[in-house]
Amino acid sequence: MDIRSSSLEDPGYAAFAWGRYRSLLWWMVGASLLAVIIGLAVLRWMIGPMPWAMLIGTACGIFFSVLLAAALMGLVFLSSGSGHDESVLDPFPELDESQ
């Protein structure tokens, strides 16, 4: 079976791609914190004062939801942008209806 190589097998390119991914995640940590601040401000405006447990739970829920979504989408873009997706062989090319 013919195995295609991926760009991520090159150590230099892999370091560049993962560095770019980590940079994206640090930006998304900031965006997650901004989403937490906006979310808590909106809740304060709509509901009023809230107990500390509700504030902490809401803040953690917003922060980790946004960060998880960013991490998963970042992995999709990393895989697609590095050519890693193209290195996968289709074991059933005759079933592909797009050709």
- The residue among 33, 16, 24, 27 whose CA lies nearest residue 73 is 24
What is the Cα–Cα distance from 16 to 24, expressed in whole angstroms?
Answer: 12
Enumerate residues 6+ apart whose C-beta is below 8 A from 55: 40
Q: What is the pLDDT along the chain (99 residues), one digit of tens a residue?
A: 455 666 666 778 778 888 888 999 999 999 999 999 999 999 999 999 999 999 999 999 999 999 999 999 988 888 777 666 666 666 676 766 655
pLDDT at residue 1, rounded to an integer: 46
Predicted pLDDT of residue 83: 65
pTM: 0.72
- Is 81 within 8 Å of 36 (Cβ atoms)? no
